[in-house]
Amino acid sequence: MAPRVVVIGLASDFGCQVQMTNIEDDLLDVLGLIDLQYWQLASSGHMPDSYDVAIVEGAVTTLEHIATLERVRATASAVIAIGACAVTGGIPALASHGRLEERYSLVYGDGPSVAPGRIKPQAVDSVIDVDYRIPGCPIDMGEFVQVLSRALQGLSDHLPQEPLCAICKTKENVCFYERGEVCLGVLTRTGCDARCVSLGRPCTGCRGLAEDANLESALRLLDERGIDTSDVLVRARLYNTLEEAFTR
Amino acid sequence: MFFRIMDKSRVLDLVAGLSQDFEVLGPVSKGDAFVYQRIDDPADLRLDYDTTLLPPKKLFFPPEEQMMRFRVADNEVVDDEVYAAPRVIFGLHPCDINGLLLMDNVFLRDYVDPYYKARRDSTLIVGVSCTPQESCFCNAWNTDEVHWGFDIFLTDLGDRYFVSVRSVKGAELLDDHVETRPITDADTAEFQRVAREFEAGFSDELNTSQLPLLLDAKFESPIWDELGERCLSCGACSMVCPTCYCFDVIDRLEPDQKTGVRIRKWDSCQFTEFASVAHGQNFRESRASRVKYRYYHKQWGYLSKFERVLCVGCGRCARACLAGISPREVVTALEAGGVGE
């Protein structure tokens, strides 16, 4: 029996779910492997009570999200968090600092009734255990297929640990720092094929802080190069505001 | 080896001629930098390049390559052919030719690597002389000159090239595609003068005497901790190195889960996962130990087997390292006893 899969969206722009529809050539192969029971973005049905794999997009921003995740964890044998919002808190987590209510008022005016039970935004794994993570904004579909394949085979999660620079070198990109421009690739988890940098845009850190990254040294070295390191940290917080290392 | 003289203006003829029979690759500009690439228009070839972002190893041992395909159901290999078209790499500097010779020791000796071998066997090399750059220290390892590893080598004498012909194939390339003339005593004298001028062009002499001994004697030196604190563990040094040959092998299933591909991709000893083994044990957990290992392997481990250091002094790692760690700095620090400022 094919594993029953559900796709759930929490607080996000659903960009990663849209990205999932972009598998194109491989979509039918992937759909052939699974019994897709519910896809919040693409199906009109209801969440089933029983399933095997839950793919979760988005950050946790309400009590309802917490309840949903607790149900998901109690039901699914494998939980896959996809996208920056789910993995690091991403953009929604920018609201986690300062006064949350003021932020809502600023956007929605007085007495906002949106998002009842709202809480400070957080990543999915701060609420429940997550088995597989696919970081990035949006996710890379090649990585999605590989991680889904790992989950279906019962292999453990295997996120790359090192920063982006190595793969970026193999693309023969000229380093942004040689031009005195900030690029977060030196701190950011690889796995995206250095796509942005190869297209001429510096890395914005959407895949989160790499375990191997040496933040202390990087900040010191950038400072020596005359780069404003407080600016580097502000940029790094865009997708990683919950990362303690970036909040000093 | 024999020698001919070729007018500089004839280079385009030679490249155009070669293109009829071979795929021709060489240095072309990419922004302010240079890369080895397929030459479709001979005018794109930039023999005045300083260095390239990646060394020519990428043409023999690509950053990522498929080794084979396999069927999941019966575990059978279905495709492990290596296709290598006949080609000429035009314009390699001595350091990079020496880099390939050092790679040959690894990929063509005890265990012959069919992927590397197929590409090596189908490739002819045309070398070209260079001008020492600030970051070059090939003179420290005597890799500033080459005596083999090329089919033709062009030494720039201003208006003409002094052509060293090393192989029968090289002689055929010249005969078939370009007009040359015999050398005269004046050409040889000029060649000698250019060689001496080249030698004098290096910014400084790196003291590498007794380096293996120094490395062993300073195994516990605080130098390694200081370098470890600085190292960004990004692996850029390994990627741009013409002699770093480590790779990781990965099996990936196709989306239908019926077939898979085994790929290999460049790895770096600076990554924590490099020395991570089953059961989660990691025998090079600290950055300092990883930086140290890199230097021990290059300047001592490889030397103990092949009597050469695994470095050609091209300076690419020094250019690529944001932390400014380079063989020149490490050797100097070992000599002086500290990293200093």
- What 3-state class would DSSP assign to B267? coil
Contact A169 B271 (CB under 8 A): no
Instruction: Please tell me the pTM assigned to this model.
Output: 0.94
| Helix ranges restricted to H, chain A | 15-20, 27-33, 63-75, 83-88, 100-108, 141-153, 165-170, 195-198, 215-224, 229-240
Residue appearing with tokens 């996809």: A82
Q: Which residues of A touch B273 (CB under 8 A)?
A: 161-162
Least confident of B25-29, B205-209, B327-331: B205-209
The pLDDT of residue A40 is 87
- Nearest CA-CA distance, residue A235 and chain B, Å: 19
Q: Residue A23: its chain B contacts at CB < 8 A?
A: 255
Contact of B93 with B128, CB cutoff 8 Å: yes
Closest CB to A165 among B33, B63, B235:
B235
Using the beta-carbon criterion (under 8 Å), do A174 and B320 form an inter-chain contact? no
Of A27-41, A42-56, B136-150, B242-256, the one with minimum mean pLDDT is A27-41
Report d(CA B178, CA A82) in Å as an integer: 59
Tell me which residue in B33, B235, B324 faces A166 most closely, judged by beta carbons. Answer: B235
Q: Where are the domains of chain B?
A: 2-200, 211-336
Cβ A1 vs Cβ A35: under 8 Å: yes
Closest CA to A174 of B57, B132, B271, B52: B52
pLDDT tens per residue across all 248 residues of chain A: 899 999 999 999 999 999 988 887 888 888 888 999 999 888 888 899 999 999 999 999 999 999 999 999 999 999 999 999 999 999 999 998 878 888 888 888 876 677 789 999 999 999 999 999 999 999 999 899 999 989 988 999 999 999 999 999 999 999 999 988 999 999 999 999 999 999 999 999 999 999 999 999 999 999 999 999 999 999 999 999 999 888 76
C-alpha distance from A45 to closest chain B C-alpha (Å): 26
Top residue of B32, B232, B254 to mutate, by most chain A CBs within 10 Å, is: B232
DSSP one-letter code for B298: I
Name the minimum distance, in Å, from the CA of A244 to any CA of chain B: 19
pLDDT in tens, B308-318: 999 999 999 99
Q: Do A163 and B35 touch (CB under 8 A)?
A: no
Whether residue B232 and residue A221 make contact (CB cut-off 8 A), yes or no, is yes
Looking at this protein, which amino acid is placed at residue A197?
V
Cβ pair B234:A26 closer than 8 A: no
CB of B279 within 8 Å of any CB in chain A? Answer: no
Residues of B in contact with A214 (CB under 8 A): 230-233, 287
Closest Cα partner for B54 from B78, B25, B77? B25
Kindly determine whether residue A214 and residue B266, on different chains, have CB atoms separated by under 8 Å. Answer: no
What tens digit of pLDDT does each residue of B181-225 get?
A: 999 999 999 999 999 999 999 977 788 888 888 899 999 999 999
Taking an 8 Å cut-off on Cβ atoms, the answer to whether B231 and A162 are in contact is: no
> Are A172 and B53 a contacting pair at CB < 8 A?
yes
Chain A residues bordering chain B (beta-carbon distance below 8 Å): 23, 26, 29-30, 32-33, 145-146, 149, 152-153, 161-170, 172-175, 177, 186, 211-214, 216-218, 221
pLDDT value of position B222? 93
Residue in A115, A24, A27, A28 with CA at minimum distance from that of residue A63: A115
Contact B253 A153 (CB under 8 A): yes
Question: Taking every pair of C-alpha atoms in chain B, what is the biggest distance, in angstroms?
Answer: 70
Q: What's the gap in Å between the CA of B49 and the closest CA on chain A?
A: 15
Q: What's the distance, Cα to Cα, between the start and end of chain A in Å?
A: 50
For residue A231, with 0-12 CB atoms within 10 Å meaning exposed, 13-18 middle and 19 or more buried, which class applies? exposed
* ipTM of the complex model: 0.95
**C-alpha atoms less than 13 angstroms from C-alpha of B35 in its C-beta half-sphere:** 14
Verify whether the Cβ–Cβ distance B54 to A177 is below 8 Å: no
Chain A residues touching residue B320 (CB < 8 angstroms): 169, 175
Would you give the distance in Å from CA B333 to the centre of its chain?
A: 25
pLDDT in the model for residue B100? 98
Check CB contact under 8 Å for B255 and A221. Answer: no
Nearest Cα of chain A lies from the Cα of B245 at a distance, in angstroms, of 14
Which CA distances in Å does A149 have to A77, A193, B87, B252, B292?
A: 15, 19, 39, 9, 37
Domain chopping of chain A, boundaries:
4-153, 165-243
Span B59-86, average pLDDT: 94
Task: Give the pLDDT score at A108.
Answer: 85
What is the dotted CATH code of the domain comprising A4-153? 3.40.50.700
